A and B are shown apart, each in its own frame.
Chain A
Amino acid sequence: SQTIHQWPATLVQPVGSPLSLECTVEGTSNPNLYWYRQAAGRGLQLLFYSIGIDQISSEVPQNLSASRPQDRQFILSSKKLLLSDSGFYLCAWSIEGDEQYFGPGTRLTVT
């Protein structure tokens, strides 16, 4: 069966520091991968999606970037965090445009 992992679970980082969040999927090949952010009490905002290795599409211009160095690995990065980057970051996978399955998320607080 398929599983999706995200780490770390929680993170507190100062403004201006770098960020690296990792997501890995097991049990499937060539999934679509997604990064979402959910601000407190708000809906999910799609940040990036990827249909294959090194194929990344950005949905929202910002100081974040994403990379997919391997088929089942998706990384979200920032060189300098802003206060507004605080939120709940969720990685998800799907096969084509079908149902999405989410990882447990990373709760990021930028101080």
Chain B
Amino acid sequence: RKEVEQDPGPFNVPEGATVAFNCTYSNSASQSFFWYRQDCRKEPKLLMSVYSSGNEDGRFTAQLNRASQYISLLIRDSKLSDSATYLCVVNGDSSASKIIFGSGTRLSIRP
């Protein structure tokens, strides 16, 4: 089993739709979790951290399920500009060597 696993997609949804991605992780001791967004041929950019209590930033909601070892990202009222690859990141502990990036989920929003 991969340490961090994501559905590669692509997810192709109409503008205005709600879309959700999951990301599973294998290390039950993982301590911190993030979602990044990467546009084509650009660097990844931090979208949001994922807290145990869940967090929301505008149209984006991130949740953590420790029991089932996954994190999720929900995008409501999707915009054309949301088209990108979404990377899940898991930090196994506080050391630098345990930060694992998922391979990403491609999202394409159509008009």
Chain A residues with a Cβ under 8 A of chain B: 32, 34, 36, 42-44, 46, 49-51, 57, 59, 88, 90, 94, 96-105, 107
Contact = CB atoms under 8 A, between A and B. Distances in A.
Q: Size class of B's contact patch?
A: 20 to 34
Contacts of B44: 44, 90, 102
Given A44-B44, A105-B43, A97 B102 contact: no
- Which of A88, A94, A96, A102 has its CB near the most chain B CB atoms (within 10 A)? A102
Given A50-B96, A97-B96, A97-B98, 5 more contacts: A49-B96, A90-B43, A99-B46, A103-B43, A104-B43
Contact of A94 (B93, B96, B104): B96
Dominant SS among interface residues on chain B: mixed
A100 B99 contact: yes
A107 B99 contact: no
B94 A102 contact: no
Given A43-B102, A43-B104, A97-B91, A102 B97 contact: no
Interface in B34-56: 34, 41-46, 49
A102 B46 CA distance: 9
Contacts of A59: 97
Contacts of A88: 41
B103 A102 contact: no
- Which of A43, A96, A103 has its CB near the most chain B CB atoms (within 10 A)? A43
A44 B103 CA distance: 7
B61 interface: no
B94 A96 contact: yes
Contact of A43 (B42, B91, B96, B101): B101
A102 B91 contact: no
A23 to B, nearest CB: 12
B64 interface: no
A102 B45 contact: yes
Contacts of B81: none
